[in-house]
Amino acid sequence: MNDFDIGQAVEKLGSWQEETYKWLHRHPELSMAETETCDFIYQQLQDFGYETQKIGGGVVGVLQNGSGKTTLFRADIDGLPVKEETGLEYASTITRPDKNGNEVPTMHACGHDVHITAGLGAAWVLSENRQSWSGTHVALFQPGEETAEGAKSMVADGLVEKIPRPDVAFGQHVLTGPMPTGSVGTHSGAILSTGASLKITVHGKGSHGSMPHMGVDPVVLASAIVLRLQTIVSREIDPFKMAVVTVGSLQAGSKSNIIPERATLLVNIRAYDMQVRKHLLAAIKRMVNAECDAAGSPEPAEFELYDSYPLTNNDAETTKTVTDAFIAHFGSERVGDCGEVPASEDFSTIPDAFGIPYCYWGLGGFREEDPKYPNHNPKFAPIMQPTLATGTEAALAATLAWLGK
């Protein structure tokens, strides 16, 4: 690689990057409905000289610049149905229709606006400095990460056939901790958990509250299930392996003296091991079915799996190359090991579709002395700088480790 100065190149983005970030933050869109966002990204990439197309609800730009490797940098683009409470002068105040047609407050409460801005910034720098690298860069902007739909949608719409096959893929996520803004963190192996949600419906037999003997109470049944599920992690999973089973919702009935016909539970699981994930799902079904039998439920339980996320498992060799590139650019004091993060992502669906290695890393977004609000919180607000510059420089450092002359 030559002596191309990534930092100086990113400085030339000037006010464009911050104004772009503010516009994106003010105009969030919900998963799989990112029309304005895609139009904006599409136009930017075309202005940068990329061959641009919309695929599966997202946008892909391809910049070919001679012979060499092909890299893919992915950024997710959707917002969340959260009412913003940051107090920022560029805060989102808009609402968007959800999938049921209800107008809901919408916010970039997970930093995807940071990811877009960094991805676009890196795309511009590569376009403006073609003499410093050789190969092909793919700038991919993916919809629907928050619902685990977007990566699948792009693959289903022919992503693998429509763009050059990358040799490697990259992604990043701005995080509340443990890294301060201005720093990055890599991790070899499993970095983000596999995750999934289950909607479980159990059936009872309705009756008057004064005549419980004539019914089958699904509230009692569901309560027993909640308690029983707590034993999966504590009694069935190896203590040295991570697993989470959370019952986030239990809904049943509408009146104190009516035994309802059914109860619905929403359950979420997390794991860093696909065999552990398989065990969790099997154990949940086993316990639910057993409790239904014990209660004399008149109908079998119903299970609906949704928001299913793959494991994000960084390739060791690729991660070492990226980490070395980060240390060379940022210095060792700004690069660390972010460890395993219990959140989940659908990023790996894209490199897995191509059968290529990948590296996904964490990006610090907050000063150590500032109050910390987690992703998805109404007050989640990464510090604009140096977060944007660091995210852009990280994308470029990783990319140029493959494309640099």
How many whole angstroms separate alpha carbon 235 and alpha carbon 27? Answer: 46
Cis peptide before 178 (omega within 30 of 0): yes
- To the nearest 10 degrees (0 to 180), the angle between helices 316-330 and 384-403 is 120
User: Could you tell me the two tokens for 294?
Assistant: 């014990």
How many whole angstroms separate alpha carbon 136 and alpha carbon 167? Answer: 10
How many whole angstroms separate alpha carbon 236 and alpha carbon 213? Answer: 35
The reported pLDDT for the residue numbered 126 is 98
Is-catalytic flag, 76?
A: yes
| CA-based radius of gyration for the chain | 23
77, 143 Cβ separation under 8 angstroms: yes
Question: What pairs with residue 169 in β-bridges?
Answer: 72, 358
Query: One of 34, 145, 146, 315 is an active-site residue; which one?
Result: 146
Query: One of 76, 113, 217, 346 is an active-site residue; which one?
Result: 76
CB-neighbour burial class of residue 357 (10 A; exposed 0-12, middle 13-18, buried 19+): middle
How many whole angstroms separate alpha carbon 63 and alpha carbon 43? Answer: 14
297, 170 Cβ separation under 8 angstroms: no
Question: How many Å separate Cα 179 from the centre of its chain?
Answer: 18
The reported pLDDT for the residue numbered 2 is 58
How many CA within 13 A on the CB side of residue 314?
28
3-state helix, strand, coil split of the chain in percent (to 5) is 35, 30, 35
The reported pLDDT for the residue numbered 186 is 98
H or E stretch including 246? strand 243-252
Residues of the chain with pLDDT under 50: none
User: Could you tell me the two tokens for 295?
Assistant: 């209660």
The reported pLDDT for the residue numbered 266 is 98
DSSP alpha helix (H) spans, 78-134? 112-128
Q: What is the reported pTM? A: 0.93
User: Could you tell me the two tokens for 341?
Assistant: 């993060």
The reported pLDDT for the residue numbered 371 is 87
